Amino acid sequence: MATLKVQRPNGTKDVVPSQMYKWNTVEALVKSHAEAYGFKEIRIPTFESTSLFVRSVGDTTDVVQKEMYSVSATGDEGYTLRPEGTAGTIRALIENGLLNDGLPQKLFYVLSCFRHEKPQAGRLREFHQFGVEMAGTKDPRADAEVISLAKSILDVAGLRNIQLNINSIGCPECRAQYQQALKDYFTPHIDKLCDTCHTRLEKNPLRLLDCKSEICSEIAKDAPSILDHLCDDCRGHFEKLQGYLTAMGIEYKINDRIVRGLDYYTKTVFEFVSEDIGSQGTVCGGGRYDGLIETLSDKPCPALGFGMGLERLILTMENQGVEFAEEESCDIYIGSMGDAAAVKAMQICRALRADGVRAECDVVGRSVRAQMKYADKLGAKFSVVIGDSELEAGKAALKDMKSGEQNDIPLDDRFGSVFNALLISRALEDDGLEDALGGLLSE
Q: Does 263 engage in binding with ligand ATP (CB under 6 A)?
A: no
> Which of ligand ATP, Mg ion, none does residue 123 bind to, with CB < 5 to 8 Å depending on kind?
ligand ATP
Binding mask 10-49 for ligand ATP (x = CB under 6 A): ----------------------------------------
Residues numbered 252-271 forming contacts with Mg ion, rule: CB under 5 A: 261
Minimal distance in Å, beta carbon 261 to ligand ATP? 3
Minimal distance in Å, beta carbon 62 to Mg ion? 6
Contacts of 40 (CB under 8 A, 6+ apart): 106, 107, 108
Minimal distance in Å, beta carbon 401 to ligand ATP? 40
DSSP-H helix ranges across 335-413: 339-354, 368-378, 388-393
Q: Does 287 engage in binding with ligand ATP (CB under 6 A)?
A: no
Q: What is the DSSP secondary-structure string of 302-323?
A: -EEEEEEEHHHHHHHHHHTTPP
> Which of ligand ATP, Mg ion, none does residue 285 bind to, with CB < 5 to 8 Å depending on kind?
ligand ATP
Minimal distance in Å, beta carbon 316 to ligand ATP? 10
Residue closer to ligand ATP, measured from CB, 149 or 422? 149
Report the distance separating Cα 256 and Cα 79, nearest Å: 35
Residue closer to ligand ATP, measured from CB, 175 or 260? 260
Report the distance separating Cα 206 and Cα 327, nearest Å: 46
Minimal distance in Å, beta carbon 1 to ligand ATP? 37
Count of chain residues binding Mg ion (CB under 5 A): 1
Report the distance separating Cα 173 and Cα 290, nearest Å: 13
The region of 136-144, 256-264, 324-332, 378-386 touching ligand ATP under the rule CB under 6 A is: 256-264
Q: CA distances (Å), 172 to each of 138, 165, 241, in order?
A: 15, 22, 19
Residues numbered 294-333 forming contacts with ligand ATP, rule: CB under 6 A: 307, 309, 311-312
Q: Within 13 Å and on the Cβ side, how many CA atoms surround 328?
A: 10
Residue pair 293/94 in contact (Cβ under 8 Å)? The answer is: yes
Residue pair 263/269 in contact (Cβ under 8 Å)? The answer is: no
Among 285, 302, 305, 335, binds ligand ATP (CB under 6 A): 285
The amino acid occupying position 10 is N
Closest-approach residue to ligand ATP (CB) = 309
Count the neighbouring beta carbons within 10 Å of the beta carbon of residue 405: 10
Among 124, 209, 341, 361, binds ligand ATP (CB under 6 A): 124
> Which of Mg ion, ligand ATP, none does residue 312 bind to, with CB < 5 to 8 Å depending on kind?
ligand ATP
Residue closer to ligand ATP, measured from CB, 140 or 287? 287
**Phi and psi (nearest 5°) for 299?**
-110, 120
Q: CA distances (Å), 254 to each of 168, 238, 242, 244, 330, in order?
A: 9, 10, 9, 14, 50
Contact residues for Mg ion (CB under 5 A)? 261
Contact residues for ligand ATP (CB under 6 A)? 84, 115, 117, 122-124, 127, 129, 260-262, 280, 282-285, 307, 309, 311-312
